[in-house]
Amino acid sequence: MKQRHGAVVQAAQPIKNLIQRFAYIGLVLAAVAILMFGKADTVLIEQARIYVTDAVAPILNLLSRPAATLSNLVAQGNELVALREENARLREENARLLQWQTVARKLDAENTELRNLSKFQPQGTQSYITARVIADAGGTFAHSLVLSAGSRSGVRKGQAVISGDGLVGRVHGVGPNSSRVLLITDLNSRIPVMIEETRVRAILAGNNSTRTSLIHLPPGATASPGDRVITSGHGGAFPWGLPVGVVASVTDDRIEVQPYMDRERLEFVRAVDFGLKGIVTLPRAGKAKTKDRP
């Protein structure tokens, strides 16, 4: 069987060599014949070309779809990468803008507070220290604040503390870099005041709430809601005329005053030195004297 197959291959080999030898010449002659025929009958050649194009068009369409699909996928991938980069850039820019917005709001609030503070200029002021409220040390049983300035900045015990609205309290304790303020609403606060409209003098007493009370009024004294309350200057602790609040309610046994200062909104205050000695600072402890030994 193998011998027969080898004999057939050997017999067909000359024919194969002959076909390969004359194939190139045949293709050239066919091309020349087609060119000559196209010159002779252009209409027929054009129609044949159209038929061939129509026949090949579906195949070309099918072949072009994968390439177009791949091109679309590549374009969409590039768009996604660009969108991700743009989204990351926008998030970073938004974070920076939010930081600047926070800083701007903080500065605006501080400027507003300082402008309000500058509106109140008490008479007879000798010097003052502007300080930031850094802590609310009060609670249910005490109303006090901690300021960011102490003895190194010139704050002294007994100085009046004011805001842009009026009296806040007085300096109760002083450290080198901080100080504590006893608010007028504290239970231990007692301030000589007067009702501005009637000139009736009284003592403003705190009760650890948002309002204060007038005590020790003279017999027959009257007050009306809305009357303005100011410091009377008695006792040498505060000067005359510092605004304190307004009469909020009047009953048979109590007159309540709503202070001008808002404890929850205090941010900057002034510790003012009026040169008064009504509240004397505690003397410093000196060295103990020792008896001479015999």
- Checking if the pLDDT of 185 tops 70, the result is yes
Rounded to an integer, what distance in angstroms lies between the CA atom of residue 294 and that of residue 278? Answer: 45
Higher pLDDT, 232 or 93: 232
Q: Give the H/E segment covering residue 189.
A: none
Residue carrying the six token digits 């015999």: 294
- Specify the pLDDT at position 155: 92
Q: What is the pLDDT of residues 237-277, one digit of tens each?
A: 888 889 999 999 999 889 999 999 988 888 889 998 887 76
Q: Give the H/E segment covering residue 169.
A: strand 167-174
- Of 2-6, 172-176, 250-254, 256-260, the least confident: 2-6
Average the pLDDT over 202-231 and give the result: 92
- Checking if the pLDDT of 292 tops 90, the result is no
Rounded to an integer, what distance in angstroms lies between the CA atom of residue 129 and that of residue 174? Answer: 13
Q: How many CB atoms lie within 10 A of CB 183?
A: 26
Which residue, among 237, 264, 260, has the nearest Cα to 156 in the 3D structure? 237
- Checking if the pLDDT of 291 tops 50, the result is no
Q: What percentage of the chain has pLDDT greater than the value 90? A: 29
- Checking if the pLDDT of 4 tops 60, the result is no
Higher pLDDT, 125 or 250: 250
- Of 198-202, 237-241, 279-283, the least confident: 279-283
Best CATH choice for the domain 127-273 from the list 3.10.20.600, 2.40.10.340, 3.40.190.170, 3.40.50.720: 2.40.10.340
* pLDDT-derived band at 61, boundaries 50, 70, 90: low
Tokens, residue 80? 């996604």
Domain ranges of the chain: 127-273
Whole-number Cα distances in Å, 38 to 43, 51, 127, 177, 184: 8, 15, 113, 107, 114
- Of 84-93, 106-115, 142-151, 184-193, the least confident: 106-115
* pLDDT-derived band at 283, boundaries 50, 70, 90: very low
Contact 109, 132 (CB under 8 A): no
Q: What percentage of the chain has pLDDT greater than the value 70? A: 66
The per-residue pLDDT of the chain, averaged, comes to 78
Higher pLDDT, 97 or 56: 97
Contact 172, 157 (CB under 8 A): yes
Tokens, residue 248? 């909020």
Higher pLDDT, 69 or 166: 166
- Specify the pLDDT at position 77: 81
- Specify the pLDDT at position 125: 52
**Residue 260 one-letter amino acid:** Y
Which residue, among 155, 166, 159, has the nearest Cα to 228 in the 3D structure? 166
